[in-house]
C-alpha cells in the first residue's frame, strides 16, 4: 500500500527540533504497529524525541494515536441493584515495596465504587503487581472482558493483565524503548501510562507519581512536570484525574518482593501493617472515592472493621485464588546486620530494589521468570536506632548463590547519624 509519509522525513523533523503534526503522528504510530516502519527507524525517532522533547500538542497526539491503535474498554454499563456503578483506578509510576494496589482496590470497592485495575509485571528494580498476586496459589491474571465485568458487578474490584488489543502500539513501543535507552523520557512515559489508562475506560484516575532514588523521577520538579502532563492528558480525554507526589527515597513498608508484599498487604487489610503503607493507601483511597463522587468518608474505617478484607477475599477467590492458602516461603535466608550503632538516616530504595531483583523477585528481561518467595524483609528503617550487630534486613531466596550479589547491591545503602533527622514527608504534593 502507498504510505502517506516517509519515516525518514518524520525522523528528520524531530531530529532538527521541529514539531510533529497530528497527521504525521497518527501515521507513524499506525505504520509502526503494522510493521511498515522498521525497528531501526522507530528507534531513531524515539531517540530524537528523547533529545528534543515534545510540546503538549504532540504528547496529546501521540497518546491519542496509541489509544486508537487498539480497542477501548467501556464500563458504562456496570450496574449493581439496578444502579450505575462509578469507576475509579490508580496508577503508580513504580517503586520499591509498592504494594499499595493490593489493599487499595478492595478498600475503595468496599464503598460501592468499581475498581478495574489493569496491572503489569515488574522489570528491573521495580516490582510488578501481577507478580506479587501470582504468589497466591491458584490466582490468575488473565481474564476476559466479560469476566472482568462480572467480577466488578459482583465484587467491585479486579486486578488483571491488559488484553493484547489494549493500546498495542504502547506495548510494542515500550519493548523498543527498553532496549534503546529511551525509557526515562517524560513525554514517552506520560503517553505510555495515559494511553493504557484512558483506553481502560475508567471514569476517574488517581496517579501516584514517585520521587526519589527508587523512582523514575529523581527530583520533585521532574515528578511534578510528569504529573501535570498526565493530569492534563486525562482531563482532555474526559477522565477525572488527580496526582499525588510521593516519596520513594526509602522502600514502602517493611517487605520488598512478591509473597512477602502480599503478606504485608493482608496485614493492612486486617487493620494493621506499617504506618507508611496505611497512610498512602488511605490517602489514595480518599482521592479515588472523591473523584468517583463518594465524599465525607474515612477509608481507615473499612480497614478497621474488616469490610476491605472481605472484599479482598472475594476478589482473590473470584480470580481462582485461595485467600486462606499459605504463601510461598523461601528455602534459604540470609541476615544483614548493622555495621555500627546509631540512628538510621538513610536506607536507599534503589539499592534495596536492586538487591530484591537479584534475589529473584524481579526480572532483567520480560521473558524471565520470578521467584514467588524471593524478597527482603526490613527490620529497621530511617529514624530507628540500632546497635552494631542488630538485624537490618533478611534476604529471602530459593537460590542462595544470589545472596552475594544482593549484598553487593546493598553496600553503602544505609547511613547512620547520632541524632534523628527530620523525616521526609511521604506525600510531597498534589496536582489536580
Q: For strands 240-247 and 204-211, give the pairing.
A: parallel
170 is catalytic: yes
Q: Coil, strand or helix: which one is 374?
A: coil
CA-CA distances (angstroms) from residue 34 to 30, 31, 163, 301?
6, 5, 18, 50
Catalytic residue among 132, 177, 210, 396: 177
Is 99 catalytic? The answer is no
Q: Which residues contact 357 (CB under 8 A, 6 or more apart)?
A: 122, 124, 125, 363, 364
Task: With beta carbons less than 8 A apart as the criterion, state whether 351 and 413 touch.
Answer: yes
Contact 427, 280 (CB under 8 A): yes
Element housing 63 (H / E): helix 56-68
Residue 141's alpha-carbon distances to 211, 318, 354, in angstroms, are 28, 11, 25
Alpha-carbon distance of 194 to 38, in angstroms, equals 25
Cα torsion 206, 211, 217, 219 to 10°: value is 130
Which residue out of 110, 192, 195, 213 is catalytically annotated?
192
Catalytic residue among 14, 60, 89, 91: 91
56: DSSP letter: H
Catalytic (active site) residue 132 = no
**Side-chain half-sphere of 91: how many Cα atoms within 13 Å?**
25
8 A C-beta contact, residue 119 and residue 128: yes
| Residue 196 annotated as catalytic | yes
State the catalytic residue, choosing from 26, 89, 98, 170. 170
Alpha-carbon span 235 to 242, nearest angstrom: 9
Q: What residue has cell string 540500632?
A: 386
Nearest to 319, CA basis, from 132, 142, 110, 93? 142
Out of 196, 307, 346, 358, the active site residue is 196
Roughly how many angstroms between the first and final C-alpha of the chain, as a whole number? Answer: 44
Residue in the structure block whose three cell numbers are 465525607? 296
Can you tell me the distance from the alpha carbon of 341 to that of 171, in angstroms, rounded to the nearest whole number? 48
Please count the residues of the chain.
432
Distance CA 288, CA 294 (A): 8
Read out DSSP for 266-325?
A: HHHHTT-S-HHHHHHHHHHHHHHHHHTT--S--THHHHHSSHHHHHHHHHHHHTT--TTS
Asked if 258 contacts 373 with a C-beta cutoff of 8 angstroms, the reply is: yes
Residue 177 a catalytic site member: yes
Q: Cα 201–278–208 angle (5° rounding)?
A: 40
Residues serving a catalytic function are: 91, 170, 177, 192, 196
Amino acid at each position: 500500500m502507498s504510505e502517506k509519509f516517509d519515516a525518514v522525513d518524520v525522523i528528520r523533523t524531530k531530529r532538527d527540533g521541529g514539531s510533529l503534526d497530528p497527521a504525521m503522528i497518527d501515521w507513524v504510530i499506525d505504520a509502526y504497529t503494522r510493521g511498515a516502519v522498521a525497528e531501526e527507524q522507530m528507534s531513531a525517532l524515539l531517540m530524537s524525541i528523547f533529545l528534543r522533547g515534545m510540546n503538549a500538542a504532540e504528547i496529546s497526539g501521540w497518546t491519542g494515536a496509541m489509544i486508537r491503535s487498539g480497542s477501548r474498554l467501556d464500563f458504562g454499563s456496570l450496574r449493581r441493584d439496578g444502579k450505575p456503578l462509578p469507576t475509579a483506578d490508580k496508577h503508580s509510576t513504580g517503586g520499591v515495596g509498592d504494594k499499595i494496589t493490593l489493599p487499595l482496590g478492595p478498600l475503595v470497592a468496599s464503598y460501592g465504587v468499581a475498581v478495574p485495575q489493569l496491572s503489569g509485571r515488574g522489570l528491573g528494580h521495580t516490582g510488578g503487581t501481577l507478580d506479587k498476586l501470582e504468589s497466591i496459589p491458584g490466582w490468575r491474571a488473565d481474564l476476559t472482558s466479560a469476566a472482568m465485568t462480572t467480577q466488578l458487578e459482583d465484587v467491585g474490584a479486579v486486578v488483571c493483565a491488559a488484553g493484547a488489543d489494549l493500546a498495542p502500539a504502547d506495548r510494542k513501543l515500550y519493548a523498543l524503548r527498553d532496549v534503546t535507552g529511551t525509557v526515562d523520557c517524560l513525554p514517552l512515559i506520560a503517553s505510555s501510562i495515559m494511553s493504557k489508562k484512558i483506553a481502560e475506560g475508567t471514569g476517574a484516575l488517581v496517579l501516584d507519581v514517585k520521587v526519589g532514588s527508587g523512582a523514575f523521577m529523581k527530583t520533585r520538579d521532574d515528578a511534578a512536570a510528569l504529573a501535570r502532563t498526565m493530569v492534563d492528558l486525562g482531563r482532555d480525554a474526559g477522565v477525572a484525574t488527580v496526582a499525588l507526589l510521593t516519596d520513594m527515597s526509602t522502600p514502602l513498608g517493611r517487605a520488598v518482593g512478591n509473597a512477602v508484599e502480599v503478606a504485608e498487604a493482608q496485614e493492612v487489610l486486617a487493620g494493621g501493617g506499617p504506618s507508611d503503607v496505611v497512610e498512602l493507601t488511605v490517602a489514595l483511597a480518599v482521592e479515588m472515592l472523591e473523584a468517583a463522587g463518594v465524599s465525607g468518608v474515612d477509608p481507615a474505617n473499612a480497614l478497621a472493621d474488616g469490610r476491605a478484607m472481605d472484599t479482598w477475599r472475594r476478589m482473590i477467590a473470584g480470580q481462582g485464588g485461595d485467600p486462606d492458602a499459605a504463601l510461598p516461603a523461601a528455602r534459604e535466608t540470609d541476615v544483614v546486620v548493622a555495621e555500627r550503632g546509631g540512628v538510621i538516616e538513610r536506607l536507599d530504595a534503589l539499592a534495596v530494589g536492586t538487591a530484591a531483583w537479584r534475589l529473584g523477585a524481579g526480572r532483567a528481561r520480560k521473558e524471565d521468570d520470578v521467584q514467588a518467595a524471593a524478597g527482603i524483609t526490613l527490620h529497621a528503617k530511617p529514624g530507628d536506632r540500632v546497635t552494631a550487630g542488630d538485624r537490618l534486613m533478611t534476604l529471602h531466596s530459593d537460590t542462595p548463590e544470589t545472596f552475594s550479589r544482593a549484598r553487593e547491591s546493598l553496600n553503602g545503602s544505609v547511613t547512620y547519624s547520632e541524632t534523628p533527622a527530620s523525616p521526609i514527608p511521604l506525600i510531597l504534593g498534589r496536582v489536580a
